[in-house]
Structure 1
C-alpha cells in the first residue's frame, strides 16, 4: 500500500510558494503522492501544475474536481495541460460534488447523477488517453480530439454508492475516497469496485482512501477535534451514508487516532482490506503524526 498526504490549502501571501514547500517536504519525506481538494479556493489543477512543476518524482492528484461546472472536454484539456507540466505525474480525481452545491450554488440539475457521471466519462476518458471523443448522450455531447500533450493520464472517481463504484471499476482507473471507514472499505467499497473491474476485463482498480490522522496519547480529545474540524462532512448526505454504514456518529468516528502502535495497526488494517493508497490528512499533533507516517515510507 502506497502512502500519500493530503495537502492543506494555503492562505495569505505567496500561496504557491507555500504549496510548493508542502509538496517538496512530502517528496523529501518519501511519500509517494500528495493530493489537493478543489472546493471554493484555489483551482487544484492549476495550483498543482504551478507549485508541483519544480518538485520532481512525487505523484500529484486532485481529490476531487467537481464535474458539473465544466464540460468534460474542457476539463480534459486543462488536466492534460497540468499533466504535461508535471511530466505525467498527475492523477485526475473527479466527483459529483453534492446536490446542494450543484443545484443551489451552481444552478445545475442534480437529477440522475450516476447517468451524468457515466456520460461525462464517455467523453473525458478517451480524451485523457489521447483519443477522439465522439459521444451523444442525454446530458453530454462531444465530437472532438485534442492535441494537448499529457495523454495517458489516469482518472479516478469519488465513488460511494453502488452505481458509482461500478463506474469506477468498469470505466475509470478506480476510486478516491473520503470519510469512509475501514469496515465500509472492506465490506462495501473494495468488493464492488474490484468486481466491476474484473467483469469489464480491466486491471485491478486503485482504491485511494483518505482519512484524518492524528498520533496522540489522548484519542478522545483527538476525535473531538476531528468532529469540529470536519463537521460539515457529517451533514452531507453521501458522507453521512458512509458514516452510518460504518456505525460512526460523525467524522471523529472514522478518524485514525491513537498512539503510534494503534495508528500503525489501523493503517495496516486498510491495506489488508484492499486499499492500494492511503492518504493521510494530518489535522492535529502534526509533528508526531508525520514522524510515524515517515516510518511507513522508509
Structure 2
C-alpha cells in the first residue's frame, strides 16, 4: 500500500508558494503522492500544475474535481495540459460533489447522478487516452478529438460510494477515491464491488485511494474531539453519512485514525488488509509527531 498526503486548503496571495513548499516537503520525505481537493479556494488542477511542476518524483492527484460545472471535453483538455506540465505525474480524481452544491450553489440539476457519471466517463476517458469521441447521451454530447499533449496512462479515478458508482469506478475508470470511509466499509462494500466490476469488464485491478484524518498522539480523547470539530460537516453530507452509517460510526471522529504510533500503525494496516491500494493521510495534529511517524511507514 502506497502512502500519500492530503494537502491543506491554502488561502492568501502566497498560497501557491506555500503549496509548492508542501509538495516539495512531501517529495523530500518520500511520500508517493500528494492530493488536493477542489472546493471554493484554489483551482486544484491549475494549482498543481503551477506548484508541482518544479517538484519531481511525486504523483499529484485531485481529490476531487466536480464534474457538473465542466464539460468532460473541457476537463480532459485541462487535465492533459496539467499532465504535460507535470511530466506525466497527474492522477485525475473526479466526483459528483453534493446536491447542495450542484443545485443550490451552481444551479444545475442533480437528477440521476450515476447516469451523469456514466455519460461523463464515456466522453472523458477516451479523450484522455488520445481517442476520438462520438457520443450522444441523455445529458451530454461530444463529437471531437483533442490534440493536447499528455494523453496516455493518466489514471482517472472517481469518488464512488454508492453501488452504481462503484461499478462505474471498476468498469469505466481506474478506481476510486474515498473520504470518510472506514476499513470495515472498504472491506465489505467498496473493495468487492469495484474489484468485481473491473474484473468483469476485463480491466486491470483498480486503485482504491482512501483518505482519512490522522493524528499520532497520547491523548486520544482530545484528538477525536478535535476531529469531530474540524471535520463536522462531513457527517452531515448524505453520501458521507451513508458510509459512516455502514461503518457504525457516529461521526467523522470515529473513522479518524488516532492513537500512539503502535495504534495508528495497526489502524493503517487494517486499511491495507481491507484492500486499500493508496492510503492518503490528512494530518491534523498540532505538532510534527504524525508526520515523523508516517515517514517510518514509507
TM over 0.5, shorter chain = yes
- Which residue number in structure 2 is paired with residue 114 of structure 1? 114
| Gap regions ≥5 residues in structure 1 | none
- Which residue number in structure 2 is paired with residue 270 of structure 1? 271
TM-score computed with the length of structure 2 as normaliser: 0.99
Shift of 1:145: 0.4
| Gap regions ≥5 residues in structure 2 | none
Counterpart-to-counterpart distance in 2, 1:100 and 1:286: 35
Map of 1:1-298 to 2, 5 A cutoff? 1-152=1-152, 153-297=154-298
Counterpart-to-counterpart distance in 2, 1:45 and 1:18: 16
Shift of 1:13: 3.1
Could you say what secondary structure the match of 2:189 adopts?
helix
Shift of 1:286: 4.1
| Contact 2:157 2:176 survives alignment (8 Å) | yes
| Contact 2:232 2:251 survives alignment (8 Å) | yes
Counterpart-to-counterpart distance in 2, 1:228 and 1:40: 20
| Contact 2:214 2:290 survives alignment (8 Å) | yes
Counterpart-to-counterpart distance in 1, 2:117 and 2:136: 14
Counterpart-to-counterpart distance in 2, 1:135 and 1:218: 55
| Contact 1:180 1:242 survives alignment (8 Å) | yes
TM-score computed with the length of structure 1 as normaliser: 0.99
| Contact 1:219 1:257 survives alignment (8 Å) | yes
Shift of 1:109: 0.5
Counterpart-to-counterpart distance in 1, 2:2 and 2:133: 32
Could you say what secondary structure the match of 1:24 adopts?
helix
| Contact 1:31 1:294 survives alignment (8 Å) | yes
Could you say what secondary structure the match of 1:9 adopts?
coil
Counterpart-to-counterpart distance in 1, 2:69 and 2:160: 18
Counterpart-to-counterpart distance in 1, 2:192 and 2:219: 34
Superposition misfits of 4+ residues, deviation over 6 angstroms: none
Could you say what secondary structure the match of 1:34 adopts?
strand
Encode CA deviations 1:53-100: one digit per residue, 9 max, x unaligned: 000010000000000000000000001000000000000000000011
| Contact 2:10 2:41 survives alignment (8 Å) | no
| Contact 1:216 1:258 survives alignment (8 Å) | yes
